[in-house]
């Protein structure tokens, strides 16, 4: 075979030469001809190849992009790192909120056993939480107490006037800056979650109930609005259903009651003072954002392009945020209440479980995410483990134009959230990082879309 190889190569070369020689001979003649192509249709031009959307890989920030103006050691507050046991369980272990510009409300799960009585929740459900009001700048604890919460879900919602709502076994209590609490709303079932509109005039509660309440209507709303409609009231003994109550927060006036099967549970119901948003698919990648008015009627707010159902949240009564997805990471799109697209920015390809925290005045919002070592698309067919993550981080955006004002790592990782807060003015942000509560000063906010002019 080795002796035949040179012979075969010479024959192949001779074949190529004989095949190409005629073409070389006629090439001068071919140069005299012009190739006629049909003209392009009027008003058109050659289209370039479509450009691929830029894919953004977020690198984990080692330090905050600004220097803190205040640092409060967590150890001095009695807080200890919950440890790796809670990682990826998405439990609510802490809450951090501004009461006003110079006071923080910090609450956290206290480790250890707790006393129980016959009326206590099932073993492993109840949590003991310590609450502290921390005063800035020369920080000290103004007041503190302990609470018992029913489970590991979110338990505290800060209100714009310095008060807060606290979830307990029977519904909700309302507390003040001195940590004094009083009954606010009693429910005949277990409260699972609630939603507040940005102005906090409307509250929607979602509770798990096995039968319709007997006797008068809820104590929080003794006289339902005539427009309130109660969908299919279950009979005693029927399977549990989710009961959503929409009411005015200040006077408890009931606007609407609805019941759905437990399988349809959702904790994502974006609302403003006018109504709530539902996403409807009307094409392969097209989604319509419909506003269902509390007083009746539906109107289309906007349409967005997304490979999955967009996550929607209100930043203010006049601005909502749509988080879309596609293989390139998707977009974060700000939309006015009249449907105008205000701005959009690309999502990162390696971030999961985004949580939105907004300032009470709607001028700023924070997005905290967990960062993977590779793009999310690489993990479609296997379970995630601790070794797949870079860590947790937060970015703060200006709601008026989408510009990033601040970014920082969050340590320890608390995938249930509660470790980021923005002050009422939007000028300060507080985070849990590096063994401390770190407080940062931000630039003066731009006017929020739709904000009233003074």
Of residues 276, 274, 211, 221, the one with CA closest to residue 243: 211
CA distance 55 to 231: 46
353 pLDDT tier (thresholds 50, 70, 90)? very high
Q: What is the DSSP letter of 396?
A: E
Q: Please tell me the least confidently modeled range out of 198-207, 253-262, 421-430.
A: 253-262
Tell whether the model's pLDDT for residue 364 goes beyond 60: yes
Q: Which residue has the higher pLDDT, 228 or 56?
A: 56
CA distance 141 to 133: 6
Task: Check residue 449 and give its pLDDT.
Answer: 63
Exposure string of 289-309, with b = 16+ CB inside 10 Å and e = fewer, is: bbbeebeeeeeebbbbebeee
Q: What is the DSSP letter of 348?
A: B
Bridge partners of residue 248, in order along the sequence: 202
Tell whether the model's pLDDT for residue 230 goes beyond 90: no
User: Which residues, including other chains, have CB under 8 Å from residue 116's CB and lie 6 or more apart?
Assistant: 123, 126
Beta carbons within 10 angstroms of residue 51's beta carbon = 6
Residue 217 CB-density burial (10 A; 0-12 exposed, 13-18 middle, 19+ buried)? middle
pLDDT (tens digit, 9 = 90+) per residue, 54-63? 588 999 999 9
Task: Check residue 125 and give its pLDDT.
Answer: 76
Sign of CA dihedral 248, 253, 255, 259: positive
Bridge partners of residue 285, in order along the sequence: none
Bridge partners of residue 355, in order along the sequence: 368
Give yes or no for a contact between 185 and 171, defined as CB atoms under 8 angstroms apart: yes
Q: What is the DSSP letter of 417?
A: -
Residue 418 backbone class (left: φ over 0; alpha: ψ -120 to 50; beta: rest): left
CA 209 to chain centre: 27
Give yes or no for a contact between 172 and 194, defined as CB atoms under 8 angstroms apart: yes
448 pLDDT tier (thresholds 50, 70, 90)? low
Tell whether the model's pLDDT for residue 262 goes beyond 70: no
Average pLDDT, the chain: 82
Q: Which residue has the higher pLDDT, 129 or 264?
A: 129
326 pLDDT tier (thresholds 50, 70, 90)? confident
* For range 385-401, the mean pLDDT: 96
Give yes or no for a contact between 359 and 365, defined as CB atoms under 8 angstroms apart: yes
CA distance 177 to 144: 10
Sign of CA dihedral 227, 232, 234, 240: negative
Beta carbons within 10 angstroms of residue 204's beta carbon = 20
Beta carbons within 10 angstroms of residue 27's beta carbon = 9
Tell whether the model's pLDDT for residue 410 goes beyond 70: yes
DSSP string, 230-272: B--PPPTTSPPEEEEEEEETTT--EEEEEEEEGGG--S---B-
CA distance 249 to 196: 9
Q: Please tell me the least confidently modeled range out of 98-102, 255-259, 421-425.
A: 255-259
CA distance 101 to 69: 13
Q: What is the DSSP letter of 388?
A: G
DSSP string, 88-154: TS----EEEEEEETTEEEEEEEPPS-----TTSPPTTT-EEEEEEEEETTTTEEEEEEEEEESSSS-
Task: Check residue 233 and give its pLDDT.
Answer: 46
Task: Check residue 260 and give its pLDDT.
Answer: 77
User: Which residues, including other chains, have CB under 8 Å from residue 259's CB and lie 6 or more apart?
Assistant: 230, 231, 232, 233, 234, 241, 242, 243, 244
Cis peptide bond upstream of 412, omega within 30: yes
* For range 83-92, the mean pLDDT: 91
Beta carbons within 10 angstroms of residue 349's beta carbon = 20
Tell whether the model's pLDDT for residue 215 goes beyond 90: no
Q: Which residue has the higher pLDDT, 65 or 7?
A: 65
Hunting for tokens 């067919």 — which residue is that?
381
CA distance 198 to 362: 8
Give yes or no for a contact between 242 and 232, defined as CB atoms under 8 angstroms apart: no
* For range 109-130, the mean pLDDT: 65
Token pair in block for residue 103 = 């006071």
259 pLDDT tier (thresholds 50, 70, 90)? confident
Q: Which residue has the higher pLDDT, 444 or 440?
A: 440
* For range 354-365, the mean pLDDT: 95
Give yes or no for a contact between 138 and 145, defined as CB atoms under 8 angstroms apart: no
Give yes or no for a contact between 205 and 187, defined as CB atoms under 8 angstroms apart: yes
pLDDT (tens digit, 9 = 90+) per residue, 170-186? 899 999 999 999 999 99
Q: Which residue has the higher pLDDT, 390 or 114?
A: 390
Task: Check residue 319 and give its pLDDT.
Answer: 97
Task: Check residue 214 and give its pLDDT.
Answer: 43
Task: Check residue 284 and give its pLDDT.
Answer: 85
Token pair in block for residue 439 = 């407080």
Task: Check residue 46 and give its pLDDT.
Answer: 39
Token pair in block for residue 28 = 């001068």
Residue 108 CB-density burial (10 A; 0-12 exposed, 13-18 middle, 19+ buried)? buried
State if pTM tops 0.75: yes
């Amino acid at each position: 075979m080795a002796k035949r190889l040179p012979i075969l190569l010479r024959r192949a070369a001779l074949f190529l030469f004989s095949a190409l020689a005629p073409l070389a001979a006629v090439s001068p003649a071919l140069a005299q001809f012009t190739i006629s192509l049909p003209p392009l249709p009027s008003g058109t031009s050659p289209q370039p190849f479509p450009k691929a959307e830029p894919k953004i890989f977020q690198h984990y920030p080692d330090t905050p992009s600004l220097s803190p103006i205040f640092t409060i050691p967590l150890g001095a507050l009695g807080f200890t790192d919950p440890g790796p046991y809670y990682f990826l369980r998405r439990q609510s272990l802490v809450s951090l909120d501004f009461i006003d510009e110079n006071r923080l409300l910090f609450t956290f799960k206290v480790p250890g056993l707790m006393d129980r009585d016959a009326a206590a929740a099932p073993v492993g459900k109840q949590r003991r939480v310590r609450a502290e009001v921390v005063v800035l700048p020369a920080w000290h604890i103004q007041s503190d107490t302990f609470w018992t919460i029913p489970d590991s879900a979110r338990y505290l919602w800060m209100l714009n006037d310095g008060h807060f709502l606290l979830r307990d076994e029977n519904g909700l209590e309302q507390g003040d800056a001195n940590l004094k609490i009083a009954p606010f709303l009693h429910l005949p079932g277990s409260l699972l979650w609630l939603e507040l509109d940005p102005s906090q005039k409307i509250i929607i509660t979602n509770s798990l109930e096995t039968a319709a309440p007997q006797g008068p209507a809820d104590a929080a709303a003794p006289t339902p609005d005539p427009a309130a409609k109660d969908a299919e009231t279950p009979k005693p003994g029927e399977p549990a259903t989710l009961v959503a109550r929409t009411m005015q927060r200040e006077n408890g006036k009931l606007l609407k009651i609805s019941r759905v099967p437990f399988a349809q549970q959702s904790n994502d119901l974006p609302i403003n003072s006018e109504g709530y948003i539902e996403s409807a698919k009307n094409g392969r990648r097209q989604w319509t954002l419909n506003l269902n008015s509390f007083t009746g009627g539906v109107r289309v707010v906007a349409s967005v392009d997304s490979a999955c159902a967009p996550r929607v949240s209100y930043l203010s009564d006049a601005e909502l945020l749509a988080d879309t997805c596609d293989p390139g990471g998707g977009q974060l799109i700000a939309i006015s209440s009249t449907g105008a697209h205000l701005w959009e920015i690309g999502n990162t390809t390696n971030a999961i479980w985004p949580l939105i925290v907004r300032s009470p005045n709607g001028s700023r919002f924070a997005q905290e995410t967990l960062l993977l070592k590779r793009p999310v698309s690489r993990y479609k067919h296997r379970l995630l483990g601790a070794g797949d993550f870079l860590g947790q981080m937060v970015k703060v955006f200006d709601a008026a134009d989408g510009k990033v004002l601040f970014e920082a790592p969050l340590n320890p990782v608390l995938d249930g959230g509660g470790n980021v807060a923005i002050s009422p003015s939007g000028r300060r942000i507080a985070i849990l990082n590096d063994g401390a509560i770190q407080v940062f000063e931000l630039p003066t906010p731009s006017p929020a879309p739709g904000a009233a002019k003074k």
